[in-house]
Amino acid sequence: MGKYIFRKFLHSLPLKPNSHSFMKSTLRYQRVIQYFLQGLLILGPVSITVYFIYIVFDKIDSLLRPAINIPGLGFAIIIAFIILTGYLSSFFVMGRLLSLLDKFLEKTPGIKLLYSFVRDFFEAFAGNKKKFTHNVLANVDDTDVWRVGFITQEDMSSFGMENYVAVYLPMAYSVAGNVYIVPREKIRPLPGISSAQAMKFALSGGVTETNTDGMDDHIIESVP
């Protein structure tokens, strides 16, 4: 009776899985995970980019709502207005009027600080006074550690510091950054890398490859 019960107990235990089938199921599971990661690598950047474009489009398009509640029309009108303003500014009379407006806002108490900051910010990226075009390596410590940065001021004598330059160092995965006043001898030029490549390299934490064979924008001058 005891042997019968023991034999019945053994039959009730779950069977040990076959090692071959177990390996096949494990490989199948790993393959599914690999496909998932590959799909994530493809769809992740695309989805984030499309979502960002949608947010920008929706924000601009909503500026004229509810006056114009036709999707896309507000966006088209605002973009056309910006282009028209840029076109008209190339004419002498319009350019003089905009110059007078610029001087008025720059001298108006309470407004001049905000206006001059926003104007300089936009000009640093897209105007005739673009600042982030002189990419360099900067040594801001006493160690042999070099950081990717951009010279924003070539002469800091107004600060009482001769032979010093102002260098902006962007932070990885952030729109923030720091400005350092560095001795000129602690600056190394990067003539073989464009400013766009240097910015992408810094913001991506160094994972973006740089192309030293060809330049996707103008060649950067050496630090004098």
- For residue 156, what pLDDT is reported? 92
According to the per-residue pLDDT averaged within each range, which of 11-15, 21-25, 40-44 is highest? 40-44
pLDDT tens column, 168-187: 998 888 778 889 999 999 99
**pLDDT reported for residue 214:** 44
Q: What's the average model confidence in pLDDT over 47-72?
A: 84
Sign of the alpha-carbon dihedral angle for 112, 117, 122, 125: positive
Q: Quick one: pLDDT band at residue 222, thresholds 50, 70, 90?
A: very low
The proportion of the chain whose per-residue pLDDT surpasses 90, expressed as a percent, equals 12
Residue 47, CB half-sphere, CA atoms under 13 Å: how many? 6
pLDDT one-digit tens code per residue, 124-181: 666 666 667 788 999 988 788 899 999 988 889 999 899 999 999 988 887 788 899 9
Residue 190, SS3 per DSSP: coil
pLDDT for res 217:
44
Mean per-residue pLDDT, 85-105: 82
The pLDDT of residue 104: 86
Look at residues 148, 154, 135 and name the one whose alpha carbon lies nearest to residue 177. Answer: 148
- Average pLDDT across the chain, whole number: 78
pLDDT for 126 equals: 65
Q: Which two tokens stand for residue 224?
A: 């004098």
Whole-number Å distance between alpha carbons of 207 and 200: 9
DSSP string, 72-95: THHHHHHHHHHHHHHHHTTSHHHH
**In angstroms, rounded to a whole number, what is the distance separating the alpha carbons of residues 178 and 168?**
6
pLDDT of residue 211: 67
Q: Assign residue 218 a region: left if phi > 0, alpha if psi is -120 to 50, beta otherwise?
A: beta
* DSSP H or E segment with residue 39: helix 19-61
Residue 182, pLDDT score: 92
Residue 71 and residue 65: Cα distance in Å, rounded?
Answer: 10
Q: Supply the pTM of this predicted model.
A: 0.58
Q: What pLDDT sits at residue 183?
A: 93
**22-26, 57-61, 83-87, 154-158: the lowest-pLDDT one:** 22-26
Residue 213 confidence (pLDDT) above 60: no
